[in-house]
Structure formats: C-alpha cells, structure tokens
Amino acid sequence: MSTLPQALAGIVEDFAALEEAQRLELLLEFSDALPELPARLADHPELLEQVAECQSPIFLALEVDPEGERAVHLFFSAPPEAPTTRGFASVLHEGLDGVPAQAVLEVPDDMPNLLGLTRAITPLRMRGMSGMLARIKRQVREALAAGAA
C-alpha cells in the first residue's frame, strides 16, 4: 500500500489483522472517537457539505494549510444514531487529518474496501464511505486551485 499515507495504512492493517466481528468492534471504537466539530464550524452549518451518498446525515468540511506541505484538516459531523457512518468518518479523520494535500489526492478511490467490511456492511453503506472520500478529494482539489489562482 505504498499509496496510502502512513496513518491510514496503519488503520487498514489493524482492520485486516482482525476477524470480522472484531472489525465491527474496532469500527465502533472509531465511531466513539470521532471528534466534535470546533465551535467555528459547529455554529456555521452552512460551511459544511452534506455527503449525499450516505444513508445517514453526515457533513464534512476541510481546510488546507496555505503554505508548506499544504496539510489537510478534516472536520465531520454525524449523529450518534449513525454509528457506522461516524465510524467511517472517524477512520478518514484519523487516517488523513494533517496529511499533505497531494498524499490525500493519491489515496485510491476504493480504499474503503480494504477495511474488510464488505461482507458485513451493505454495499450501500460502503458506497457512502467512498462518497466521503471522493468529496474530500474534490474539496482538496478545489482548495489547491483556489490557492494557486
């Protein structure tokens, strides 16, 4: 997995080393660990983009550092009644937050399938996670383009 940033590659390895039931438990741990939105975003829901591919309401926002490695900072909001969606968001947060923009863009689009959850979790939900990743990459591209202009 040379194309995955180190933190995300580590998460994928952790999932791969487990049995399916334990993978779901690990996803629950990620769900529990999803950080709250910072106040500057929590008070401004219009700054967040809804991930329409997900069955549950989830919103994301990101910021890209203006210089240096152009590190990406991710923010998610998803309700506690949607733990699977929160878990996916949390995996992406822990795996990609602070990662240089170029490395985020190089994450393969089918990365969610590497978690070994495609049997337990319906294709619909797996597509939701792919949708989150696609939107992150699009927003990163937009941020880079805006910075270059």
The amino acid present at 3, given as its one-letter code, is T
Q: How far is CA 37 from CA 4, 12, 22, 98, in A?
A: 25, 25, 28, 16
- Is residue 81 near another protein by the rule CB under 8 A? yes
CA distance 45 to 43: 6
- Is residue 83 near another protein by the rule CB under 8 A? yes
Q: 27: buried, middle or exposed (CB in 10 Å: 19+, 13-18, 0-12)?
A: buried
Distance of CA 72 to the CA centre of its chain: 12
Query: Which listed residue (19, 80, 145, 146) binds another protein by CB under 8 A?
Result: 80
Query: Which listed residue (35, 124, 138, 142) binds another protein by CB under 8 A?
Result: 124
- Is residue 135 near another protein by the rule CB under 8 A? no
CB of residue 84 to another protein, shortest distance in Å: 5
Query: Which listed residue (16, 17, 42, 52) binds another protein by CB under 8 A?
Result: 52
Q: Give contact residues for another protein (rule: CB under 8 A).
A: 24-25, 27-28, 31-32, 52-57, 80-85, 87, 119-122, 124, 127-128, 131
